[in-house]
Amino acid sequence: MVINGLDLLLRNTGLLNHRRTGLIANQTSVSGELDYSWRGLVREGISLTRIFSPEHGLFATEQDQIAVTRQPETGCEIVSLYGENEQSLLPDRSLLEGLEVVLFDIQDIGSRYYTYLNTLALFMEAAEGLDIEIMVLDRPNPLGGTIIEGPLLDPAFHSFVGVMPVPVRHGLTAGEIAHFYRSYRKLDINLSVIAMQGWSRSMLFPETGLPWVPPSPNMPSFQVAEVYPGMCLFEGLNLSEGRGTTTPFLLSGAPFVDPFELASRLSSLPLEGVTFRPTWFRPTFHKYHDEVIGGIYLHVTDHKRFRAFATGVAMTCTLRELWPTSLTFLEGVYEFRNDLPAFDLLAGSSTIRSMILNGCPAETVIDSWSNEETAFASIKSDFHLYEN
């Protein structure tokens, strides 16, 4: 059984020494007994001054890219770090005055474009040079800590879905990536991590013994988190990524998709650990809401061999091959940027989209980021807090 950083801190609250404390948290900030961190901290006599909430809000009440302007009452001031503009992603320096330590306690899902660790990174930037300790209460990477996948982020494509130069699937915990980002940015901050007990890098979330609390409205299960590093790319296409269904990201489709033709073509590709089931579905909101559309349901059959990002790219290549005049890459505002396609912001550069538009085979596109994976693998272990 894994013991998370929060439970270890609650056993030794003397680490806070009655300091004025801030907390970056959402509904995943729970003890092993499912008690919210802010309640447990106050019960232990901690002077909790302010709670900072990430995208979706403290209880994940808002959908993606929706400003969080209303929060439930908790007995403590709550400040949203996701508002109407990019400036809202950073806490105002005045909100840090008087704080002596800020705890970060949110369950991440192990993908570069999932925004919670980006909130941590930006908060670290805001705290640079201040006499504030950033203390990460570590939690498992649900996808484990061994497999990395995907290209690195090109700094020119920096956005709220791309803050750190890491692969899409980075294989680091929140505590580890905080150390990485401090080193990368050479930040002058006081950083500490309450490391977990019992977690090893080979563990997937179901092996931890911890309860799954959906970290966001469209992340209801580990099964969804496992495919997310690839299927989130569809946010940049005129393809439903399954929002508006009970199985987002496992489902994807569009009115122009013939499910059986797509499944047949995908099954001929050298993609391991996954089966493509043709299906039809009706999203109740978001893209193609109230339309019955054709698509695919992903069934992961081998966790060790499945590569989510490669699967998402291969599916995009195949959709482009089968329906070149119907599939489009979306333009417009995406996570506060309107000058680059959403697909490129997610992929980390324009390379993959350009290769797809130029008709490169899926295998060639997938091979294109192998050197970047190797480069990251050569430094990743420098930041490991846990053994294999």
Tokens of 387: 């053994």
* Residue 86: per-residue pLDDT: 79
pLDDT tens, 195-210? Answer: 999 999 999 999 999 9
This prediction's pTM: 0.95
Q: Which of 21-25, 81-85, 212-216 has the lowest mean pLDDT?
A: 81-85
- Residue 230 amino acid letter: G
- Are 140 and 199 within 8 A, CB to CB? yes
Give start and end residues of each alpha helix (H) in the chain.
Answer: 5-11, 37-43, 93-96, 116-127, 174-185, 222-231, 259-267, 308-322, 342-347, 351-357, 362-367, 370-380
Identify which of 157, 139, 143, 146 has the alpha carbon closest to the alpha carbon of residue 196: 139
Looking at residue 269, its amino acid is: L
Torsion on CA atoms 220, 362, 118, 8, rounded to nearest 10: 60
The mean pLDDT value for 53-62 works out to: 83
pLDDT at 63 over 80: no
**What is the residue-averaged pLDDT of the chain?**
94
Query: Can you give the pLDDT at residue 61?
Result: 74
How confident is the model over 241-254, as a mean pLDDT? 97
CA angle 335, 116, 341 (to 5 degrees): 25
143, two tokens: 């996808």
Higher pLDDT, 219 or 76: 219
Taking 60 as the threshold, does the pLDDT of residue 67 lie above it? no
72: pLDDT strictly greater than 70: no
Q: Report the CATH superfamily, name and number, of domain 5-213+379-383.
A: Uncharacterised protein PF07075, DUF1343 (3.40.50.12170)
68 band by pLDDT with thresholds 50, 70 and 90: low
**pLDDT tier at 239 (50, 70, 90 boundaries)?**
very high
Tell me: the pLDDT tens digits for 283-311? 999 999 999 999 999 999 999 999 999 99
Q: State the pLDDT at residue 335.
A: 84
Cα-flanking dihedrals φ and ψ of residue 222, to 5°? -60, -35
Task: Write 209-214 long-range contacts (CB < 8 A, 24+).
Answer: 209/1, 209/2, 210/1, 210/2, 210/4, 210/32, 210/140, 211/30, 211/32, 211/34, 213/27, 213/28, 213/30, 213/34, 213/107, 214/27, 214/28, 214/60
Query: Rounded mean pLDDT of 371-380?
Result: 97
Q: Where are the domains of the chain?
A: 5-213+379-383, 222-373
Q: What is the mean pLDDT of residues 348-358?
A: 98
Which residues make beta-bridge pairs with 162? 159
- Are the CB atoms for 170 and 110 separated by under 8 Å? yes
What percentage of the chain has pLDDT greater than the value 90?
A: 85
Residues ≥6 apart with Cβ < 8 Å to 344: 157, 236, 350, 353
Mean pLDDT of all residues in 230-252:
97
Contact 125, 93 (CB under 8 A): no
Sheet holding 21-25, edge to edge: 77-80, 48-53, 21-25, 101-105, 133-137, 190-194
Determine the CATH number of domain 222-373. 3.90.1150.140
pLDDT for position 65:
57
Question: Would you say residue 120 has pLDDT above 70?
Answer: yes
Q: Does pLDDT of 60 surpass 60?
A: yes
Q: What are 251's strand-pairing partners? A: 248, 297
Contact (Cβ atoms closer than 8 angstroms) between residue 294 and residue 253: yes
The Cβ of residue 358 has, within 10 Å, a number of other Cβ atoms equal to 8
CA dihedral sign of residues 156, 158, 163, 166 = negative
Say what the pLDDT of residue 88 is.
80
Asked whether residue 351 carries a pLDDT value surpassing 80, the answer given is yes
Query: 220 versus 55: which is more confidently predicted?
Result: 220
Query: What pLDDT sits at residue 71?
Result: 65
Confidence bin at 92 (pLDDT 50/70/90) = confident
pLDDT of residue 357: 98
